[in-house]
Structure 1
Amino acid sequence: MRKVRLGAAILALAMSGALLSGTSWAHDVQEPSGFELVGHSPLHARGMNAALAVHDGYAYVGSRTDGQPQHRTPGILVVDVHNPSDPKVVHEIGRPDAAQLGETSRELRIWPQQDLLMVLNFGCSSAIHACVGGEAVEPRVTFFDISGENAVTPELVSTYRPSQEPHEFFLWVDPARPRERALLFQSTPTDSRTEPSMIVTDISDARDGDFTEIPWTARFAAGTFPNGEEEDRRLHSMGVSTDGRRTYLAFLGSGFLVLDTSEVAVGRPDPEITLVTPPENRLSWSNPGTHSAVKIPGKDMALTTDEVYGDSLDALGPHGCPWGWARTIDMSDETTPRLTAEYRVEQNHPEYCESDEGSDPANTLFTSYSSHNPTLTPNLAFVSWHSAGLEVIDISDPARPTRAGKFKPEPLPSVATEDPALSLGNDKVVMWSYPIIDDGLVYVVDIRNGLYILRYTGERAKQVSGIDFLEGNSNLGDALRFEPPTSN
């Protein structure tokens, strides 16, 4: 449990002068609120589902585990969603292009102007991913043509092998040249001050197998929390502004900083990447802490999410109740970001940790009620929240975030492979992926229970129904409408 850590984090914020305008507590609800279930695919009840990509009537879903025989259809599943009320699995990308031993197809994205599906594969853990031999697996990003008939049976066209192992990536397509130029901003988690923490890779010539890397190294030292624990300074993820000039960093313990990537965005030779936020002004709160950081469209504000596992991972750090939640951050002065507000669900309240349910090992060892991946409109944040389900937060006033909707499905009776760290407990819902809004419908993947297609009916529903395409880890589609990029 992390009750002591919570107090330390609040004390640290108070000492730094970071004042919270508001803290919201959302009580858990069992019935869907603000959502209509349109369609569901259990994805062969395989369990261990991972990232999601959606394009032209098809959804593509990666796997959190590897290709061992006991894992059912462990490749990348292709789902026909032309009829959203009746999604059907129509193909599996398997070996050798996916589902190797020790390898997870963890991150997926699509460059629509090129009809290219890209998949980040890397070694996975025996302890938390049910994999074997992942330590010996070299990372690779595979690129598939999904034009025409290849949408159903994607054709491998090239493979990129990063110089460092990525964990997550943000796809940035140049708004000025969307058919010709795209970059992958990849987190490469390390506590080293000499090895890259992030690599920006030019994938413009991916079809020809030509890739150019631009590394950035976080050279600042890890800080120390009030309890004496050293910050985890590994970069977990990053969001990128629509114009590519700013990158918003999410370090697991070292927290939130803003990076100037304008020279990369404009394509300057030998570009410099520099911190806008001095390391001494970074905003941090705990280990494990920040998972994702994304800009709120149209505002000088960011939203961050945490990722905290159950107590089964306590040997790796202070996991468990009250897990992690979302925060809004004022970036009007990028050199000194300020915490504005927090948003938590019921299980993130310290009082829950003292309750019978919150202190029951069957509900805390292998379960997480943590925030995870966010997708934002100017006024709404759609956040996969592990066993709390899919949360929608009204962020029209970032200082006072409130619940606008929630979806928590009835779990499947059983699956082929349970998540060793996240679904062995009492709660069998594990919402995980970045939500994707496509043609007004919300697509989201649950690790255990499959693909859900939802219609949002809550507050500001018209803003969502009018969206052509939006995802939290690219600048595609309506992201450019919500925040038009500055001219290069």
Structure 2
Amino acid sequence: MKSTRRTLLKLLGGTAAIGCTGTVSARGKPTKGRLRKLGHSLLEDPEGGYTEGDVRADGQYALTGSFFGTGGSFLVDISNPTDPSQVHRLPSSADVRNADVKFGRRDGLYYRTQEPNTDDAEFDGVEIIDYGYADGTPEDPTILGTLDAGSTHNLFPHPTEPYVYTTEHDGMGVFDVSDPTDTSFVGTFGPEADLHDIVVDPENDLAHLAFIGGGFDGYVIIDVSDPASPEVAGQFSYEGLPSYEDVPLGEEGFQNCHYANYDPARDIAVVGDEIGHGKPGGKHIFDIGWGDGSVSDPKPIGYTPSPNAEYQGDDPLELYDWTTHNHDIISKGSNSLLVDGAYHEGAVVWDISDPTDPAFTDRYATDDQADQAQGPGWLGEAPMAWGANYNAKRDLTVVSDMVTGVYVFKVTPGASKQGN
């Protein structure tokens, strides 16, 4: 049944069921945002599934991590975006997953997080991979150093200074990586709660944080102008607001704050909630200086669910079906486009040029070669897109799918696909 449903969605171009206005926004303006697939690779296809991706600043390489099994981390050559190719796979222990991977600010280094898959797993928290910094090469990488961060789901290297920020259960961890072979822990900052993800805006010296519980559920902005001693600049708490179970399907709830990212050209941010079962989470658009909001007082001004949002049942194979996930924001002239790795929706684009009126415009079901993929059987079939990462240097977007690997897209401000 699910296979038939997703095949139909792909053939129809992802016609929206909830929260979508097709080709015209609620204010009567034509919507923009098109996805054009340039290339795809299943990579080495280990069992267990791919995870987060990243794109190097020059747009020549991409990364993706892995979940269960010995998949490890993958360096992908995207110099020819129509033919992305695996350069290396650095396996990890079957007891450890690598949910997040990020390029460092120094050439030839990247970071991969470690979390246990078993109770007796041995791991360092974060590994620093040399693929051209010292003795390692792109084809033959080495593990150069570690961060003693314990179980770590996500991280973000400071874009200009030798520090790495990690997600901790008591705030944002800061590590000094001036010498990648001899790193040191600086401390934790921000709310003493369970931090889920971090994105740093280097132009404004702000880190955008999603706290998912453990004392605080909500969106936090931290000033990182002093990268070793960050300070909270503003926050928005979900406490006391309606959860998704409190509102009709497709309407705005506040629960399980999962991921926050910023518009590089305007003072807005997009914050996503992840709900595994029941009514799926969506995207909140925050005013952090665009209108009445500010960094010190972020205000939610827009909301959108995934385009085909429906109730997620209790069947394990329906886990995360229609919740949104990790996203990026692409600014092109007067247009802002939100692109998401939206799990079973695949890659999704919204026009958020009017942040009070986000409109779904296009999607691509990331299920290429799904019939050949081993994938994470516990999550059902492709598409199962994890995240989207935009590279401004080459105007490319890389989407990682847990089942089917890495995709390279061109996201353009052309007229909505459904208008053709």
The TM tier, using the shorter chain, reads 0.7 to 0.9
Report whether the alignment pairs 1:440 with 2:404: no
Deviations for 1:383-435, whole angstroms, at most 9, x for unmatched residues?
A: 11000111112121111111233221334114324242x3x2xx521000332
Shift of 1:288: 4.8
Which whole-Å CA distance do the structure 1 matches of 2:409 and 2:323 have between them?
A: 21
Q: Residue type of the partner of 1:184?
A: V
Report whether the alignment pairs 1:65 with 2:68: yes
Instruction: Give the match for residue 25 of structure 1.
Output: 19
Deviations for 1:122-144, whole angstroms, at most 9, x for unmatched residues?
A: 213xxxxxxx4466544232232
The secondary structure found in structure 2 opposite 1:205 is coil
Instruction: Give the match for residue 358 of structure 2.
Output: 401
Instruction: Give the match for residue 430 of structure 1.
Output: 384
| Pair 1:107–1:284, CA change in 2 (3 A) | farther
The secondary structure found in structure 2 opposite 1:413 is helix
| Pair 1:274–1:417, CA change in 2 (3 A) | closer
Instruction: Give the match for residue 111 of structure 1.
Output: 104
- 1:79-478 matches, within 5 Å, as 79-94=76-91, 99-124=92-117, 132-133=118-119, 137-146=123-132, 150-162=137-149, 164-174=150-160, 181-188=161-168, 190=169, 196-206=170-180, 208-216=181-189, 218-219=191-192, 234-243=194-203, 245-253=205-213, 254-262=216-224, 264-265=226-227, 271=229, 273-274=231-232, 276-277=234-235, 285=243, 288-309=255-276, 319-320=277-278, 322-331=279-288, 332-348=293-309, 352-353=310-311, 365-378=318-331, 379-411=336-368, 412-420=370-378, 422=379, 424=380, 427-437=381-391, 439-459=394-414
The secondary structure found in structure 1 opposite 2:226 is helix
Which whole-Å CA distance do the structure 1 matches of 2:257 and 2:151 have between them?
A: 19
Which whole-Å CA distance do the structure 2 matches of 1:290 and 1:279 have between them?
A: 10
1:443–1:452 Cα contact (<8 Å) kept: yes
Shift of 1:166: 2.5
Deviations for 1:345-387, whole angstroms, at most 9, x for unmatched residues?
A: 3433xxx43xxxx66x669734521111111123111111000
1:101–1:133 Cα contact (<8 Å) kept: no
**Structure with greater helix percent:** 1
The secondary structure found in structure 2 opposite 1:377 is strand
| Pair 1:214–1:409, CA change in 2 (3 A) | same
Deviations for 1:142-179, whole angstroms, at most 9, x for unmatched residues?
A: 232435981222233222222x43321122222xxxxx
| Pair 1:283–1:439, CA change in 2 (3 A) | farther
Shift of 1:243: 4.4
Which whole-Å CA distance do the structure 2 matches of 1:184 and 1:80 have between them?
A: 24
Aligned residues: 365
The secondary structure found in structure 1 opposite 2:81 is coil
Which whole-Å CA distance do the structure 2 matches of 1:238 and 1:453 have between them?
A: 23
Runs of at least 5 residues in structure 2 that lack an aligned partner in the other structure: 1-17, 24-32, 245-253
Most deviating of 100-109 and 408-417: 408-417
Q: Residue type of the partner of 1:187?
A: T
Which whole-Å CA distance do the structure 1 matches of 2:398 and 2:141 have between them?
A: 21
| Pair 1:42–1:305, CA change in 2 (3 A) | same
Shift of 1:327: 0.9
Which whole-Å CA distance do the structure 1 matches of 2:377 and 2:157 have between them?
A: 27
Q: Residue type of the partner of 1:25?
A: G
Most deviating of 383-392 and 134-143: 134-143
1:256–1:283 Cα contact (<8 Å) kept: no
TM-score (norm: length of structure 1): 0.66
**Structure with greater strand percent:** 2
2:105–2:158 Cα contact (<8 Å) kept: no
2:275–2:320 Cα contact (<8 Å) kept: no
1:183–1:202 Cα contact (<8 Å) kept: yes
Q: Residue type of the partner of 2:402?
A: I
| Pair 1:35–1:59, CA change in 2 (3 A) | same
| Pair 1:456–1:46, CA change in 2 (3 A) | same
Q: Residue type of the partner of 1:60?
A: L
2:328–2:339 Cα contact (<8 Å) kept: yes
| Pair 1:144–1:395, CA change in 2 (3 A) | same
